[in-house]
Structure 1
């Protein structure tokens, strides 16, 4: 398979909820592709990321109709020999909803990428299925630290996985 060859560097984020800042954009400059696992928040986030690198994303439960028309709810794709399934609400290793398990079992899937929980989690559901949730990069939610993931895909394997801490979540503004 010619797709397995050289490595590709990925920035994985989720739950921006309309927040994009210099810190996120600086990390985005260092990778080959940006993947967003939903709850984008507004079109400005999409536009900001697309100006920097190729973007792959799914919509989330807070995304409005404008985003949902532009961004699919879920994506299956193959990259460098690995089969990915990305969806915003997908559960986590050992706790996958029945509908998600059925989708995963219906086609080759090596990695499940999701967001929604605002909790960074990476782990194996089984010997084969790696579940990745980058936590939340935005300011809205109960998470204390804003996070993303960075990894490389090379020769059909995930390599050099690292957590990027973006600092403390900002305070919510009330009107």
Structure 2
């Protein structure tokens, strides 16, 4: 199972568009997970041309996105429970807010965004993944997204653009 993970696309914004390397990965994906801040349904419509798209809404999303996607959700993929949340809110770090969003649920992986900072680490037995942003890197040196491979083992591949 190949899952493309992304967040914080913030499109349309200026001349930004989804990068060709991301779309190439989506073309061979079994599933695409977007962790919020799409900004408009155009992103969903474009990604949907490549694979099934699951996602959540974030703090900058328009009304169409908020109606179409919950603030958080859990999906099961190949016996792994994946929690998805944007991670925005008051107080604490984005990572802590994401972890607390699923404190009453048993999840193996949490995919979140909001900070635009790519990271992967374990919090207890839960794998935390922030894919960064493929279109809004802020002060970081690179744009980014992830590919989550679920086979006999779980492997996370960061793609830096």
Q: Determine if the TM-score, normalized by the shorter chain, exceeds 0.5.
A: yes
| Contact 2:19–2:134 (Cα < 8 Å) also in 1 | no
How high is the TM-score relative to the length of structure 2? 0.86
What is the Cα deviation at residue 118 of structure 1? 0.6
How many residues in Structure 1 have an aligned counterpart in Structure 2? Answer: 151
* Superposed CA offset, 1:4-36 (max 9, x none): xxxx11110111111323232112112111111
Equivalent residue number for residue 74 of structure 2? 76
Is residue 53 of structure 2 the alignment partner of residue 62 of structure 1?
no
* Superposed CA offset, 1:131-169 (max 9, x none): 0000111136333310011121124x413x211112xxx
Write the distance in 2 (CA, Å) between the matches of 1:70 and 1:134. Answer: 22
Write the distance in 2 (CA, Å) between the matches of 1:51 and 1:152. Answer: 21
Write the distance in 2 (CA, Å) between the matches of 1:105 and 1:34. Answer: 24
Among residues 2, 5, 8, which one is paired with 1:9 in the alignment?
Answer: 2
Greater CA radius of gyration, 1 or 2?
Answer: 1
Equivalent residue number for residue 5 of structure 1? none
Please state whether the residue corresponding to 1:116 is helix, strand or coil. coil
Equivalent residue number for residue 46 of structure 1? 44
Write the distance in 2 (CA, Å) between the matches of 1:139 and 1:130. Answer: 24
How high is the TM-score relative to the length of structure 1? 0.79
Equivalent residue number for residue 110 of structure 2? 112
| Contact 1:17–1:140 (Cα < 8 Å) also in 2 | no
Equivalent residue number for residue 147 of structure 2? 150
| Contact 1:118–1:142 (Cα < 8 Å) also in 2 | no
Is residue 138 of structure 2 the alignment partner of residue 141 of structure 1?
yes
Write the distance in 2 (CA, Å) between the matches of 1:104 and 1:57. Answer: 16
| Contact 2:74–2:81 (Cα < 8 Å) also in 1 | yes
- Provide closer, same or farther for how the CA distance between residues 100 and 131 of structure 1 changes in structure 2, counting only shifts above 3 A: closer
What is the Cα deviation at residue 108 of structure 1? 1.2
Moved >4 Å (runs of 4+): none
